[in-house]
Chain A
Amino acid sequence: MSTEVYVIYGLAVILTTLGFIKNPKKTKIGLKKGLKSFLNLMPILLPMFLVIGLFLTLITPKLISSLLGEESGFFGVVFGLGIGSITFMPPFVAFPLGKSLLENGGAYPQVAGFLVTLMSIGFVYFQAESRYFSKKSAIFRNLVSFTGAIIVVFVVWVVYL
């Protein structure tokens, strides 16, 4: 468990209490609305985690570090950006993985590209994002992040090599 989890629970408890003191009726409506949007998200979220679970089974850290080695060059970058875009990991899993990839012979630009796309691009979110906003908006956001990741790869390449 990380501190951010405690902070967000603490915030929710404090604000709900304050809400009940200030206006119990409004607070009840708010909590009901929150529950409703939570339940609306579940049919999208739960099957998505099945797909993520499958990805994480097939794409192991061993496979990733073998694809992102010092000699992997351009294709290593493409693999890094590609795998990072389709998989999803919480930061507390992603950063130690990045560290172990670097320690196991992964090259800096490839691993950096992998980490940035891992966080910023959610291929699995695309369907949900299009539904909430629009397809064009989802494409724009992911394209921007992908461009950013390519720039990161270049900067790391220049700085480290």
Chain B
Amino acid sequence: MKKWMKNKFLIFGILALIALSIYDYRLSFIAIEKTYQQIISMLLIVPPIFILIGLFDVFIEKETVIQLLGKESGLKGLFLSFFLGAFSAGPTIAAFPLALLMMKKGAKYGNVVFFLMVWSTLKLPILIYQVSELGLKLTLIMNLTMLIVFVISSYLIDYVISSDEVEQMLDKSS
């Protein structure tokens, strides 16, 4: 209960909802309906992600993760991070616990951040759908530009976030 009381989003959301009701109560009904729709669509897709996270936690050995995604994984690790992120579904926030677990198992931080960025933006399974809605040219520009920026940033991150700071993240969560 205490956790819920402290939540800034909840307090802000309720206050905004009250303000909106005073302004125009019909809008607040729409807002509640939209919230409901969002929660339902999230609950449809998020549970299997957490089943996979749990199975990953117990069945995949740390040594395997270090070998595939660790400091020495190089270009192969980057490719694997790309495919893990690009063939995913669900909101980015569902990727946070998975990314943290990858880190705990010894994945390189640059790979983890790259995985998160790819998950949020570059969804390969729906690329054809994107082309049909937005056209080939716009789709290519958007996806290729972001891919290049993400790759560069995954190399730059070692200069921005030190290994001590990565250690701190792991300590905090354990």
Contact = CB atoms under 8 A, between A and B. Distances in A.
B53 A19 contact: no
Interface in A1-56: 1-5, 7-9, 11-12, 15-16, 19, 22-23, 26-27, 29-35, 37-38, 40-41, 43-54, 56
A44 B58 contact: no
Interface string A111-134: 010011001101011011100111
Contact of B58 (A9, A33, A40): A33
Interface residues of A, number: 80
Contact of A7 (B89, B137, B172): B89
Contact of B133 (A8, A96, A133, A159): A96
Contact of A47 (B7, B49, B146): B7
A140 B54 contact: no
Contact of B50 (A22, A35, A56): A35
B145 A31 contact: no
Contacts of B150: 144, 148
A120 B117 contact: yes
A130 to B, nearest CB: 10
A122 B91 CA distance: 10
B97 A41 contact: yes
Contact of A8 (B41, B49, B141, B168): B49
A95 B56 CA distance: 32
Given A30-B58, A49-B39, A134-B168, A144 B153 contact: yes
Interface of B: 3-4, 7-10, 12-14, 16-17, 20, 27-28, 30-39, 41-42, 44-59, 88-94, 96-97, 99-100, 113, 116-117, 120-121, 123, 125-126, 129-130, 133-134, 137-138, 141-142, 145-146, 149-150, 153, 157, 160-161, 165, 168-169, 172-173
